[in-house]
């Protein structure tokens, strides 16, 4: 297939193809509760918003208090584009941070960051209370605290329908068990990257949860506490974010120019891969058969993690050809071998 034909045809399929990893919208917009519009209260909320954003982007709870960010803490306005107030219970301060200025400040501070392309998470959230057990479904009122918490922590969250066919699957035993086979099977219809199982218990004022996260072969687990449903949801999402971030962060100075070859391409896969490689400055430079070659820039480790979200597998390096005896010739410097992946 000729390259220009592939590019033209892919425009038709790109809009309809659903990649699994998601680009988090409004990642640099933070809302924090606000008791009043008093300047001192607003300044405190601004500091909290900056801390929330730094944690979203680094996954490191110690990053905000580092000495390298002392100047930014003293003058957050240097990375803020606008403020806004939102009515509600409680009212909140909306702070829009400038992405370029924020990223530059974090790079100068030597902090590793996590981009906007993040794994989508399907959450099976079971709550046991005095009123019985409830599996949180996408259309239920109990879903709202989970969505707000995921948004606050920069995570793309999905929830199951929790219909009659799914209710029996999400038992306490299944959610706390070490074998996610049953939940994985039920989760296939939602096309998420990661599976989050949460079993919440307790009563008003004292809630706790056991959670487990599966992303590919990676398994994480932990516990969380909260005084109410919103607090518990935020504690779980914060813990999940801190566990995921190290796998996807880009360390300052770790970016390098690389060649990437992907075998098994078709029109739909081209659309998905183009979006995924956008944050790496991906540029298609060759197309031979079903193998595409891209020029990209970034961290090899992060690139591998992002390609893993798209279910690509790394191919072994080809065996070097045996040297053939002959007259001595000047050696030609060899460039770095491309990263090779296949569908």
Q: Distance of alpha carbon 54 from its chain centroid, rounded?
A: 15
Give Cα separations from 322 to 69, 153, 319, 325, 326 (angstroms). Answer: 54, 53, 9, 10, 12
> Cβ–Cβ contacts within 10 Å for residue 291, how many?
14
Contact present, 224 and 236 (Cβ < 8 Å): yes
Q: What tokens appear for 118 in the block?
A: 């993040």
**How is 243-301 classified by DSSP, letter by letter?**
HHHHHH-B-TT--EEEEEEEES--HHHHHHHHHHGGGGT-EEEEEETTEEEEEEEE-HH
For the chain, give every residue range classified as CATH 3.30.70: 3-20+252-320+335-342
Beta bridge partners of 283: 295
Distance CA(177)–CA(210), nearest Å, equals 11
The two tokens of residue 147 are: 């969505």
| Residue where the block lists tokens 């998601």 | 22
pLDDT per residue rounded down to tens, the chain (343 residues): 444 444 444 443 333 334 456 889 899 999 999 988 899 999 999 999 999 999 999 999 999 999 999 999 999 999 999 999 988 878 999 999 999 999 999 989 999 888 888 999 999 999 998 888 999 999 999 999 999 999 999 999 999 999 988 988 889 999 999 999 999 999 999 999 999 999 999 987 899 999 999 998 889 999 999 999 999 999 999 999 999 998 888 666 667 889 999 999 998 888 888 877 876 778 999 999 999 999 998 788 888 888 887 788 999 877 655 555 655 444 444 457 899 999 8
- Taking alpha carbons only, the member of 254, 332, 325, 340 closest to residue 294 is 340
Q: How many CA atoms lie within 13 A of 36 on its CB side?
A: 4
Options 3.30.160.100, 3.40.50.150, 3.40.50.2300, 3.20.20.70; which CATH number does 117-248 get? 3.30.160.100
Q: Where in the chain is the domain with CATH 3.30.160.100?
A: 117-248
145-155 core/surface letters (b: 16 or more CB in 10 A; e: else): bbbbbbbbbbb
Q: What CATH number does domain 3-20+252-320+335-342 carry, 3.30.420, 3.30.1330, 3.30.70, 3.40.50?
A: 3.30.70
Cβ(146)–Cβ(123) below 8 Å: yes
pLDDT of residue 320: 59
Q: Which two tokens stand for residue 208?
A: 């706790």
DSSP string, 31-62: EEE-S---HHHHHHHHHHHHHHHHHHHH--TT
Residue of 109, 13, 24 lying closest to 63 (CA atoms): 109
How far is 329 from 91, CA to CA, in rounded Å? 75
Residues in the chain: 343
Query: Of the candidates 150, 126, 148, which has an alpha carbon nearest to the alpha carbon of residue 209?
Result: 126
Work out the angle at residue 252's Cα, subtended by the Cα atoms of residues 251 and 255, and round it to the nearest 5 degrees. 80
| Confidence at residue 20, expressed as pLDDT on a 0 to 100 scale | 54
**pLDDT score for 8:** 40
215-219-222 Cα angle (round to 5):
120
């Amino acid at each position: 297939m000729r390259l220009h034909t592939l590019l033209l045809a892919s425009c038709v399929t790109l809009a309809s193809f659903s990649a699994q990893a998601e680009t988090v919208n409004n990642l640099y917009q933070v809302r924090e509760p606000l008791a009043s519009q008093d300047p001192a209260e607003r300044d405190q909320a601004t500091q909290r918003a900056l801390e929330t954003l730094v944690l979203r982007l680094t996954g490191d709870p110690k990053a905000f208090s580092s000495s390298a960010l002392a100047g930014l803490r003293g003058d957050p306005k240097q990375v803020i584009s606008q403020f806004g107030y939102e009515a509600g219970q409680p009212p909140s301060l909306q702070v829009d941070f400038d992405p370029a200025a924020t990223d530059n400040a974090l790079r100068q501070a030597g902090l590793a960051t996590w981009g906007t392309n993040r794994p989508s998470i399907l959450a099976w959230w079971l709550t046991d209370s005095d009123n019985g057990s409830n599996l949180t479904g996408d259309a239920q009122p109990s879903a709202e605290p989970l969505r707000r918490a995921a948004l606050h922590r920069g995570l793309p969250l999905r929830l199951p329908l929790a219909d009659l066919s799914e209710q029996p699957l999400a038992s306490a035993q299944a959610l706390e068990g070490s074998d996610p086979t049953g939940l994985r099977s039920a989760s296939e219809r939602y096309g998420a990257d990661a599976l989050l199982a949460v079993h919440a218990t307790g009563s008003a004022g004292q809630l706790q949860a056991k959670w487990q996260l599966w992303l590919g072969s990676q398994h994480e687990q932990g516990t969380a506490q909260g005084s109410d449903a919103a607090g518990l949801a935020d504690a779980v999402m914060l813990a999940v974010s801190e566990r995921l971030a190290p796998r996807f962060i880009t360390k300052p100075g770790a970016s390098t120019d690389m060649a990437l070859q992907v075998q098994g391409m078709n029109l739909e896969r081209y659309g998905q891969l183009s979006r995924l490689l956008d944050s790496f400055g991906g540029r298609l430079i060759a197309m031979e058969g079903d193998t595409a070659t891209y020029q990209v820039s970034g961290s090899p480790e992060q690139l591998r993690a992002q390609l893993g979200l798209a279910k690509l597998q790394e191919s072994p390096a080809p065996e070097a050809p045996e040297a053939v005896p002959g007259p001595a010739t000047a050696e030609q410097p060899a460039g770095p071998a491309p990263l090779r992946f296949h569908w």
